[in-house]
Structures are given as C-alpha cells and as structure tokens.
C-alpha cells in the first residue's frame, strides 16, 4: 500500500492504491518507476509522468519496427488488390480463384493478413476509397503499408515526434498532434500508441472529432486484466516502464470511452508469443534489446524449442480464454449517426 493516496487518471478514485515498481527493460537501463493500480477501475498507471519523456525514445526506438517493403510492379499490385477485393468485400470470387493459383499473399504473414482483414470487417469498411488515419505511428506504419498493399489509397498517419511530414508511396504521415489533424476518417487506429499518451481523455476526444459518419476508432493496447500480469507482475514485457503510462483494464478502457461519448462494441484479444518470451526474459534479467535477446535473434540459445512452443501455445490459449495481455477495442460514437 502507498504511504499517500493517489488519484486514478481514468475514474478519479482517490485511494491507497497498491504501488508497483517497474523497470526500464527495453534498453536495459533498469531505471525504476512507480506505478499504482486503481482499486476501482483496475487501470495500472505511472505515478509521476517523467518531465523528460523524450529521453526514453532514443533515435533507434522507431527503427526497431519492421523494415520497409520494396516497390513492386503495377501488375502485381493490381493482382493483390483483386485478391483482397474478394477477401474483404466478397467481390470477384472467380477472378480471385484464378489469381490465387499463382499469386500468394506474399507481403504480410498469414496471421497479419487475418488480423488486418478481421479489423477491416469489424470496422465495416465498404470499399477501397475508405479513409484511414493511424495515430502515433512513428515515421513508418506497417498498418498503413499493409492497407496500401491491399489496394487502399486514402492513407494518413500522425506522430508529433517524427522529424517532418513524410510522403512515401502515397502514405502521408504528418508531424502533428491528434488535436491538429483535419479531415474526417472512416477508421482511426491507435496501434499501441494510446498507452504512451499522457492525456488519455483528450486523445480520444480528438480522435472522436475526426470520425466520419459511422466511423470507427480502433484502440490496440496492452491489457492489465491478463494472465501475463497475474503471472509475471512487473516483469510483464508490455508494462514497458516508463513509456507505457497507462496499462488499461478491460473495465477502464471501456469507461474511458464512455466518458468521451464512445461506445465499445467489440473486443478482440490478440496476444502473441512475445508476451510470454519477453516477460520470461525480463524475469531472467535479459532486456528486450540485449544481444542475446530472442526478440532480436530467433536463433539464440536462451530458450529450448519446447519453451518456444509453449510460448506460442500460451498466446493462443489466453486469446481463447479472454486473458490476453493485448487486445483490439472497437469504438463508435454513442447514439449518434452524425
Ligand atoms: Zn480508476
């Protein structure tokens, strides 16, 4: 228990919320940060947001993501688009059947294709003219790139921390805060970015103001109401102190949506084996970017093949049992057609 009460940044409950100490383990500085978990809504949150947050995003932070895709021929792009036209909108079945014999979905791994198509269906995206905004995507959005490969063309991103505006293959990424973005979008995504944002309510209000009629906000975040948190506590890889300021519970993210007039209409768990091998690494005091990290090098010797199989199986199991440590939350404006 804390020596002094804290006020929850989500539900405003003031209490002696239990305190936890998280360690910086992505880069392995092992700096300590106090968090507390709200006794009412369950949200785990950093006690004091560091004044110098930028220090925890070194230049190599964004480059940790997947590398850029190579340019392809127009014919290839066309054939891929036809394949997704069938997968997403049930159109062109015969053509797809022919193309599928000689064109596979080569750019996205199978799981990712499944996740992207599931998300687009949940968001009721109706055609290739839909307009997308990816918030907090850094200088490169694998999400927008996936959509471009599939055949979409209204693709925008925003991140205040990039050097300048970018336009690559027609994907435009603005160096802007969400509140400074203009336009209306059919699907606004926050893929693991909301947990980094100090003002949670304002972030969702700004996103909500940018929704087209019937538009959808997808929030993908780590979830504290999970097996990994119960099992690993502060060694949970996605606690990611101090970059993750808020680790929502399922209750607290729904509550946050309600506070700004958004209705949670769908939840999809999407745990990966990272959740398990990363947390296991932290409990063995191995940072995510250590030279022997399994995250950087799948050939290393940290884990036995049985352990690796087990991590994959555990990810599937927690998804099935609704105890996933990360999930997709779909929001729509409440009782409004705009
Ligand atoms: Zn709370």
pLDDT in tens, 309-320: 999 999 999 999
The mean-pLDDT minimum among 20-34, 89-103, 250-264 falls in 89-103
Distance of CA 10 from the midpoint of ligand 1 (Å)? 5
Query: Does 165 score more than 60 pLDDT?
Result: yes
Instruction: Give me the helix-helix angle, 274-283 and 305-320, nearest 10°.
Output: 120
Distance 36 CA to ligand 1 centre (A): 10
C-alpha 166/C-alpha 174 separation (Å) is 7
The rounded Å distance from CA 66 to ligand 1 centre is: 35
Q: What is the pLDDT of residues 47-64, one digit of tens each?
A: 999 998 888 887 777 554
Q: Is pLDDT at 133 greater than 90 in this prediction?
A: yes
What's the CA-to-centroid distance between 261 and ligand 1, angstroms? Answer: 18
Q: What is the pLDDT of residue 67?
A: 47
Enumerate domains of the chain plus CATH numbers: 6-69+107-333 (3.40.50.150)
Alpha carbon of 271 to ligand 1 centroid (Å)? 24
Q: Which residues surround the ion ligand 1 when the cut-off is CB under 5 Å? A: 8, 10-11, 13, 38, 40-41
Model confidence over 284-336: pLDDT tens digits?
999 999 999 998 888 877 999 999 999 999 999 999 999 999 999 999 998 75
- 281 CA distance to ligand 1 centroid (A)? 30
pLDDT at 153: 94
CA 58 / ligand 1 centre spacing (Å): 31
Q: What is the whole-number distance in angstroms between the Cα of residue 249 and the centre of ligand 1?
A: 9
Q: Starting at the edge strand that comes first in sequence, how are the strands of the sheet with 19-23 ordered?
A: 19-23, 32-37, 44-46, 246-247
- Please tell me the distance between residue 5's alpha carbon and the centre of ligand 1 in angstroms: 13
**Residue 304 CB coordination number (10 Å):** 9
Model confidence at 167, in pLDDT bands (50, 70, 90)?
very high
CA 161 / ligand 1 centre spacing (Å): 29
pLDDT at 62: 59
Per-residue confidence (pLDDT) for residue 95, from 0 to 100: 65
Distance 136 CA to ligand 1 centre (A): 24
Look up residue 277 and give its two tokens: 């091998």
The rounded Å distance from CA 247 to ligand 1 centre is 11
Q: Could you tell me the distance, in angstroms and rounded to a whole number, from the CA of residue 256 to the centre of ligand 1? A: 10
User: What residues does 166 pair with on adjacent strands?
Assistant: 173
Q: Categorise residue 37: left if φ over 0, alpha if ψ from -120 to 50, beta otherwise.
A: beta
* 131-135 and 154-158 beta bridge pairing: parallel
Residue 138 pLDDT exceeds 90 = no
How many angstroms is it from 253 CA to the middle of ligand 1? Answer: 10
Residue 197 Cα to ligand 1 midpoint, Å, equals 17
Mean pLDDT for the chain overall? 88
* DSSP-derived 3-state class of residue 41: coil
Determine the angle formed by the axes of helices 200-209 and 250-259, rounding to 10 degrees.
60
Which percentage of the chain shows pLDDT scores above 90?
68
If phi > 0 it is left, if psi is from -120 to 50 it is alpha, else beta; for residue 224 that is: alpha
**CA 333 to centroid of ligand 1, rounded, Å:** 22
């Amino acid at each position: 228990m804390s020596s002094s009460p804290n006020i929850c940044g989500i539900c405003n409950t003031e209490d002696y919320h239990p305190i936890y100490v998280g360690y910086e383990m992505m880069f392995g500085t092992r700096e300590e940060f106090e968090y507390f978990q709200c006794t009412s809504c369950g949200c785990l949150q950093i006690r004091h947001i560091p004044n110098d947050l930028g220090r925890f995003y070194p230049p190599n932070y964004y480059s940790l993501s997947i590398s850029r895709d190579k340019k392809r021929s127009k014919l290839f792009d066309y054939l891929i688009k036809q394949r997704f036209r069938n997968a997403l909108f049930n159109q062109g079945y015969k053509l797809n059947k022919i193309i599928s014999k000689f064109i596979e979905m080569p750019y996205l791994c199978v799981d990712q294709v499944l996740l992207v198509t599931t998300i687009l269906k949940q968001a009721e995206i109706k055609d290739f003219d839909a307009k997308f905004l990816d918030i907090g995507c850094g200088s490169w959005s694998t999400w927008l790139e996936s959509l471009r490969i599939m055949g979409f063309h209204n693709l925008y991103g925003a991140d205040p921390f990039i050097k300048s505006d970018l336009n690559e293959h027609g994907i435009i990424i603005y160096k802007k805060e969400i509140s400074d973005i203009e336009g209306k979008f059919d699907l606004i995504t926050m893929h693991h970015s909301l947990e980094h944002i100090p003002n949670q309510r304002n972030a969702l209000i700004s996103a909500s103001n940018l929704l087209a009629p019937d538009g959808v906000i997808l929030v993908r975040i780590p979830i504290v109401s999970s097996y990994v948190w119960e099992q690993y506590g502060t060694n949970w890889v996605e606690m990611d102190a101090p970059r993750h300021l808020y680790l929502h519970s399922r209750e607290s993210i729904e509550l946050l949506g309600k506070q700004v007039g958004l209705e949670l209409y769908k939840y999809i768990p999407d745990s990966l084996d990272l959740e398990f091998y990363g947390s296991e690494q932290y409990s063995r005091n191995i940072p995510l970017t250590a030279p022997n990290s399994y995250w950087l090098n799948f050939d290393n010797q940290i884990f036995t093949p049985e352990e690796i199989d087990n991590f994959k199986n555990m990810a599937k199991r927690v998804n099935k049992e609704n105890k996933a440590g990360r999930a997709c939350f779909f929001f729509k404006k409440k009782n409004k057609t705009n």
